[in-house]
Amino acid sequence: MITDQVARTEDRPIDQEADLFKIKAIDHIEFWVGNARQAVYYWKYWGFKPIAYSGLETGNRQYASYVIEQGKIRFVLSTPYGPHSEMAAHHLLHGDGVKVIAMEVEDVESAYRETTARGAKGVQPPGDLQDAGGAVRMAAIQGYGQTVFRFVQRTGYSGAFLPTYRALPEDTTVKPVGLAAVDHIVGNVELGKMDHWVNWFHKAMGFRQIVHYDDKVIHTEYSALMSKVMGNGNGRIKFPINEPAEGRKRSQIEEFLDYYVGPGVQHVALITGDIIKTVGELKERGLPFLRVPQAYYESLPARIGTIRERYDDIARLGILADRDDEGYLLQIFSRPIQDRPTMFLEVIQRRGAQGFGVGNFKALFESIEIEQGKRGNL
């Protein structure tokens, strides 16, 4: 619920966090999709191994759900069995996309209490799910659009994932590609709603604003956007938020909002320790990535300076590079991973730099606009 209470800025400066409750890590990200069984095969190309399942055979009569894993990344793919459920309605409206961002916390009660006391809307009060593996305590609050933030406390739980899920036999056909952890999760919100969500993260979640880019920085000839990055104290959880800005044509953020029918997760960035190897393998498997014009690579060495990777490899694979005070980063973006031009993935390697590749935004967005043009959406 958007209340005045949340919209008002907290007394604490925007760049300071409050230690409201302890977040350990991203526990999982749940996608609601049209056909989870088939989606599992898509994600195998990305190197994700199916590890757990919930569905009719495990006593779950509402939906089928598969847990897939690579490194510390855990995704859940869920599909409703029938038309009469929140999950079915959600899929009809939004198509495939991220429904739940789950954070492992030390204490679900305090996470729920602190956030809802500060204006977050509760959607699931704290409660235990139990099976032979023990108990997992969970609660959830409403995030942007219909996206939900879930708190998970799995002290001592020994089951495959969560109660109702059972372990799947080892899938030896999957070859991991070195994706290790979630780096950041980006949300697109409507025009004029940026500050509401920045304040929501600041006040209700106790996060701080790490950095912000305005539309003077992020623009092309046709479109512009604003971006602010919110994060928790230890910097492990980073949530950039994008809002469209006035431009001559329809921005990629507006295209997302039109096709997702509202705000939601635009991209999830996954960390690798060796982007040349990871992207080389993914390209070999035929996964499509955005490509910037070749001219980008002519000026790259002068802009970035000495790096440990070979510029030849970077250009060959279409990887982007950016440098800041602390070091450099390498990144690449996939095309949308479902038919609607909505969510995509980023693969990122950090060599010191803690930014998000602002030096690449212009070249990248021009590439996105070429694709938008092909879709008739520019």
Chain positions contacting Fe ion, by CB under 5 A: 269, 346
What is the DSSP code string of 120-138?
A: PPEEEEEEEEEETTEEEEE
Contacts of 52 (CB under 8 A, 6+ apart): 66, 67, 160, 161, 165, 166, 167, 168
Sheet-wide strand order for 49-54: 122-131, 134-142, 148-153, 97-105, 23-32, 73-80, 63-70, 49-54, 166-167
Closest Cα to residue 103, out of 71, 63, 132, 74? 74
Which one, 269 or 290, has the nearer CB to Fe ion?
A: 269
Which one, 219 or 238, has the nearer CB to Fe ion?
A: 238
Q: Which residues of 127-151 are buried (b: 16+ CB within 10 A; e: fewer)?
A: eebebebebbbbbbbbbbbbbbbbb
Report the alpha-carbon distance of residue 111 to residue 16 in Å, rounded.
18
Phi and psi angles of residue 229, each rounded to the nearest 5 degrees, phi first: -110, 120
Q: How far is the CB of 356 from Fe ion (least distance, A)?
A: 5
Q: How far is the CB of 46 from Fe ion (least distance, A)?
A: 16
Q: How far is the CB of 157 from Fe ion (least distance, A)?
A: 31
Q: How far is the CB of 82 from Fe ion (least distance, A)?
A: 36
The token pair that represents 336 in the structure block:
């949308």
DSSP three-state, residue 187: strand
Which one, 52 or 265, has the nearer CB to Fe ion?
A: 265
Q: How far is the CB of 348 from Fe ion (least distance, A)?
A: 7
Kindly tell me the number of DSSP H helices and DSSP E strands found in the chain: 10, 17
Report the alpha-carbon distance of residue 41 to residue 118 in Å, rounded.
41
Report the alpha-carbon distance of residue 358 to residue 109 in Å, rounded.
38
Q: How far is the CB of 98 from Fe ion (least distance, A)?
A: 14
Which one, 30 or 346, has the nearer CB to Fe ion?
A: 346
Report the alpha-carbon distance of residue 234 to residue 218 in Å, rounded.
27
Which one, 71 or 357, has the nearer CB to Fe ion?
A: 357
Q: How far is the CB of 86 from Fe ion (least distance, A)?
A: 29
Which one, 163 or 187, has the nearer CB to Fe ion?
A: 187
Residue type, 306: T
Report the alpha-carbon distance of residue 365 to residue 359 in Å, rounded.
11
Which one, 154 or 267, has the nearer CB to Fe ion?
A: 267
Which one, 120 or 269, has the nearer CB to Fe ion?
A: 269
Q: How far is the CB of 344 from Fe ion (least distance, A)?
A: 10
